[in-house]
Structure 1
Amino acid sequence: MSSRRANKSKDIKVVDLFCGVGGLTHGLILEGLDVVAGVDNDVSCQFAFEQNNSSKFIYKDVSKFSSKELEELYGDAPVKVLVGCAPCQPFSAISKSKAIGKDDDRNRWAPLYRFIKLIQDTKPDVVSMENVPDLCNTKKYPVFADFLKSLSVAGYNVSYKVVDVSRYGVPQKRRRMVLLASRLGEISLIPETHDKTNVVTVRETIGHLENLKDGEVHKLDVLHRSSRLSEMNKRRIIATPKNGGSAKSWSDDLMPDCFKRDSGKSYMTTVYGRMRWDDASPTITTHCTTLGAGRYGHPKQNRAISLREAALLQSFPEYYQFDPPEKISMVKTARHIGNAVPVQLGRVIGESIKRHIETHRATARRK
């Protein structure tokens, strides 16, 4: 994955709602888009966003971010783009087997409804949203049906699809819904760039990093640090075969009680496992440096992956700074990394927007 930056477009201005530490923003910037500001209600994201993107971080809940403020950020830009990844907690907090009705507490969906209102008021030329795949189920989540209808009424051409980001060069199996909408004409995500024969692998992404013990911090890279394991978890990771092994190889004395129940047998292949060298990693979450939270064991070393490895698997460049060295935290930084839009997916969205605008301009010149 190249971190080469395209030349900055002077006439396309972007605002990133729910920006976090700037994964989406950084991908757009690498594609030459001018992200003038990011908006988020988590002030702990400010350092990373501003340090790496030379863009303004607005510490504010999007519900209190006004259309006037948004218009002022755009100024007289010829092309205005609004992007965002609304928090997905509502989708994880609700039973996936339960339908959500229109009469549900509207506050649960406030971020998406606010996103709709800002679009209606300011009418940006292009809109993009990245979110969890389940949101596409409009019967279960009427808020998305409302979102689509509002875009259509406002004159937008809309496309959306669920993608596995490993098919776009992210070294991670992660399914996300990506929506693109434009007032300029039809718009869609660029075709997939990878398939199962050329997926970017864990080995390619983290194989060059120096060995690390559990609980150790690398002396030259403060982000290359791993969680300290309990004595039991040390025994478990040692007993887990290298390169993709799982708890199926453990002796009974290593099994947690939950594994011994019929309902817990599936856990034996989904948690405490090791990543495979020559495949994309599992989905990087906010608990990605915790051995028992998923298949987050290093393929070879007896530990969970480090913060640096997690960031690389999220396609953050090695130069990306998440906090001053003395403020790096296993819990906070893992949350920042896991919540981010992969930078490479940001680049794909940015390239899709650029191609769309260039096509629209070429068509307009021919008329």
Structure 2
Amino acid sequence: MNNRNYHILFANELDINAAKAFSLNFPRIPLLNCDVANISEEYLVEKNIDYTNVDLVIGGPPCQSFSTVGKRQYDARAKMYKEYRRILSFIKPKVFLFENVTGLLTIKNNIGQPVLDDIKNEFSDFSDFNIDLSYEIKESVLNAKHFGVPQNRERVFLVGIRKDLNVSSKWKFPSPIYQREEQFLTLEDAIGDLPTLLNGESKQNYEIETYTRYQQLMRGDCDDLTNHYNGINGEKMLRIMEVVIPGEGKKYINELVVNGELDSKYYLTSGYNNTYGKLWWDKPSSTITNNLSTPSSFRCIHPIQNRALTSREGARIQSFPDSFHFVGSKESVNMQIGNAVPPLLAIAIAKQLESFFKSITR
């Protein structure tokens, strides 16, 4: 892909549906649908990709092992950052950007040491590859709601700047656009114009006009509504979603049972304490996950409709425009949505990177 500011050499994605979706939305960018472990200098040469003199590499190794939602373990996925590091060892970009969940800040390795320290140390020095390559590492936690995304979503960002360039002092992470509670976009701001859905219902057309600037931005010129369908839930789940109140979840339901306000058949024995949670209409959404349409999962129950979020609502909350096409089953689509860096946050970082590169080439 080319514009007056940049040229993207290639992207890499292992999941077939995510790869198809990427190519569908960005057809001019070469997409390597393969395991990152298979990407080597020889492989790039075979694909006629010139990887010399690269300015920037962006990557986000799998985050599930670090996530504070569910189990946390230092497993094979947690070590995938080493493959990213291997890619850096032969591309040798001027700058790299690394993104992951905030759980990375606290998880320990197999000998009880902070994994983040390992990562920063390894990404600083590449002498074990017998090459002269080292990076100055800058670290920050950014929250998507500070950048116009209607979601309370914190992520860790590491920026590595090649030490031989002597320009690391010029790097600054983007400053928040919105900082006060009353400035943050709410769930209603994001999805209030999307059609209501009954149990098992799907709709392909908008029914009302947009009434916030964010809704206008997301809908754009779209005429057809996609990925807006509600799953079929049984009587027990419907009743649970009906009685739980915004901001509450499993614990609240069980308290109703214990207090005799709800039949004992609704007592919840499975799931974490933060499951079966209902969102707030007048606040930013909680962090969107791969299970955004599963009401028994982390907080994803619609605040005024008796259902979980739809894939399109999840995409809206992540700041994907309605024109963005996803590929695959609902589960696959939700994974593509839940794993993504919100586009509006990505744009804020991209603008900062653009300014940085302009400052070091003057």
TM-score range for the pair, normalised by the shorter chain length: 0.7 to 0.9
1:91 aligns with 2:58: no
TM score, norm. by length of structure 1: 0.77
Q: Is 2:305 aligned against 1:337?
A: no
Cα distance in 1 for partners of 2:360, 2:267 equals 58
C-alpha distance in structure 1 between counterparts of 2:351 and 2:38, whole Å: 30
Partner of 1:256: 267
Gaps of at least 5 residues in structure 1 are 1-6, 14-34, 363-367
Mapping of 1:22-41 within 5 angstroms?
A: 35-41=8-14
What is the SS of the residue equivalent to 1:127? Answer: strand
Higher relative contact order (CA 8 A, sep 6+): 1
Is the 1:271–1:294 contact (alpha carbons within 8 Å) kept by the matching residues of 2? yes
8 A Cα contact 1:151 1:158, kept in partner: no
Amino acid at match of 1:169: G
Instruction: Verify: 1:57 aligned to 2:31, yes or no.
Output: yes
Taking the aligned partners of 2:182 and 2:123, their CA distance within structure 1 comes to 35
What is the Cα deviation at residue 300 of structure 1?
0.7
* Paired position in structure 2 for 1:347: 347
More helix by share: 1
- Would you say the 8 A contact 1:227–1:330 is kept in 2? no
User: Residue 208 in 1 paired to residue 193 in 2?
Assistant: yes
Letter in 1 for 2:175: P
Q: Map 1:191-206; keep pairs closer than 5 Å.
A: 191-195=175-179, 196-206=181-191
Q: Deviations over 1:125-145 (max 9, x none)?
A: 120010122324573315414
What residue identity is the alignment partner of 1:41? Answer: L
Any idea what the Cα deviations from partners look like across 1:288-332, whole Å, max 9, x if unmatched? Answer: 111110221111111111111011111111100002xxxx52222
For residues 226 and 23 of structure 2, what CA distance do their matches in structure 1 show?
20
Give the aligned residue type for 1:66.
S
> In structure 1, what is the equivalent of residue 138 of structure 2?
159
RMSD: 2.8
1:240 corresponds to: 244
Partners of 2:26 and 2:301 lie apart in 1 by: 31
Offset of residue 69 of structure 1: 4.3
Instruction: Give 1:47's aligned residue.
Output: 20
Checking the alignment, whether the CA contact within 8 Å between 1:63 and 1:110 is kept in structure 2 is: no
Q: How does 1:289-308 map to 2 (within 5 A)?
A: 289-308=293-312
Task: Report SS of the residue matched to 2:188.
Answer: helix
Q: Is 180-189 or 71-80 further displaced after alignment?
A: 71-80
CA contact (8 A) 2:9 2:50 kept: no
SS of the equivalent of 1:358 reads helix
Distance in 2, matches of 1:74 and 1:199, equals 42
Q: Distance in 2 between matches of 1:190 and 1:74?
A: 31
Counterparts of 1:282 and 1:60 in 2: how far apart (Å)? 32
Structure 2: distance between partners of 1:283 and 1:76? 35
CA distance in structure 2 between the aligned counterparts of 1:308 and 1:38, rounded to whole angstroms: 24
Distance in 2, matches of 1:278 and 1:244, equals 11
What SS class does the counterpart of residue 292 from structure 1 fall into?
Answer: coil
Report what 2:98 is aligned to.
Answer: 129
Alpha-carbon distance in structure 2 between the residues aligned to 1:207 and 1:95: 33
- Is 2:103 the partner of 1:119? no
Sequence identity (%):
26
Secondary structure of 1:291 counterpart = coil
Of the three residues 4, 10, 14, the one matched with 1:9 is 4
When normalised by structure 2's length, the TM-score is: 0.78
> CA 1:64/1:205 → structure 2, altered by over 3 Å: closer, same or farther?
same
Partner of 2:40: 66
Instruction: Tell me the equivalent position of 2:148.
Output: 169
**SS where residue 350 of structure 2 aligns?**
helix
- Describe the superposition over 1:245-286 as per-residue Cα deviations: whole angstroms up to 9, x where unpaired: 545364332643428xxxx8x82xx32232111211011111
- Tell me if the contact between 2:199 and 2:231 (Cα under 8 Å) persists in the aligned partners: yes
Quick check: 1:62–1:111 contact (8 Å CA) kept in 2? Answer: no
Aligned length: 315
Matched position secondary structure for 1:197 = helix
Q: Is the 8 A contact 2:295 2:301 kept in 1?
A: yes
